[in-house]
Amino acid sequence: MKPSIFIDTDVVLDFLIDREPFSSFASIIFTQSEENNIKIYISPLTISNSYYILRKLGSHNKVIESLQKLLTITTITSISKKDVVLALNSKFNDLEDALQHFSAISHAKVDVILTRNIKDYKNSEVPVMTPETYLKTRYISPSA
C-alpha cells in the first residue's frame, strides 16, 4: 500500500515558488505523487494560503493555472466543524496548523505530515517530519 502523506503549505510553496534549497526535496515528493508512488493530501487552507502568497508574485491567471496543476497530483481534504472545534481546543499554538492537522487525521488517515515547521506540530497525533528527513528515512532516495 502506498504511503499517504499530508503536505503543509510551506512545502507546497517551496515546490511552486522553487524556494531553494527546500524545493529540491519538495519536487521529489511531488514527482513521487505524479508517478503514483505516494498519495499526497493538502487542505483547502493550503490552496487559499498559496493563492494569497503566489498572487503577490504573479497574475491571477498564472496563479490559478499553478494551483490547478497542483490539484492534478494531490487530494484535497475537508475541514469540518468538528475539526474546527478540535483545533480551537487543541494544544497547538497556531490555529492554522491545528486546522491542517485535524483535517489530515480526520479526512485522510495520513501516515505522516510533511512540513518545515516541525515545532508547530509538536502535538500531532501522527509522525511529522521535514521533506528532507522523510526522503532520507523512507524508501525514496533524495537523489531520485
Label residue 106 exposed, middle or buried (CB < 10 Å: 0-12, 13-18, 19+): middle
- 38 inside domain: yes
Q: Give me the number of domains the chain comprises.
A: 1
pTM: 0.91
For residue 13, what are the CA distances in angstroms to 6, 20, 118? 14, 11, 16
The cell numbers describing 116, all together, are 518545515
- What is the C-alpha to C-alpha distance for residues 126 and 3, in angstroms, rounded to an integer? 13
24 domain residue, yes or no? yes
CB 43, CB 10: distance < 8 Å:
no
Residue 18 phi, psi (nearest 5): 65, 50
User: Is residue 71 included in any domain, yes or no?
Assistant: yes
Asked whether residue 33 is domain-assigned, the answer is yes
Domain span including residue 64: 4-77+112-117+125-137
Residue 101 domain-assigned (yes or no): no
The answer to the question of residue 92 being in a domain is no
Is there a domain that residue 96 lies in?
no
Q: Residue 39 forms beta bridges with which residues?
A: 4
- The residue written with cell numbers 529540491 in the block is 24
pLDDT at position 139, please? Answer: 52
Query: Does 26 fall in a domain?
Result: yes
Burial of residue 60 (CB within 10 Å: 0-12, 13-18, 19+) is exposed
pLDDT tens digits in sequence order for the chain, 144 residues long: 889 999 999 999 999 999 999 999 999 999 999 999 999 999 999 999 999 999 999 999 999 999 999 999 999 999 999 999 999 999 999 999 999 999 999 987 899 999 999 999 999 999 999 999 999 987 554 444
| CATH code of the domain covering residue 68 | 3.40.50.1010
Confidence at residue 64, expressed as pLDDT on a 0 to 100 scale: 97
* 28: Cα separation from own chain's centroid: 14
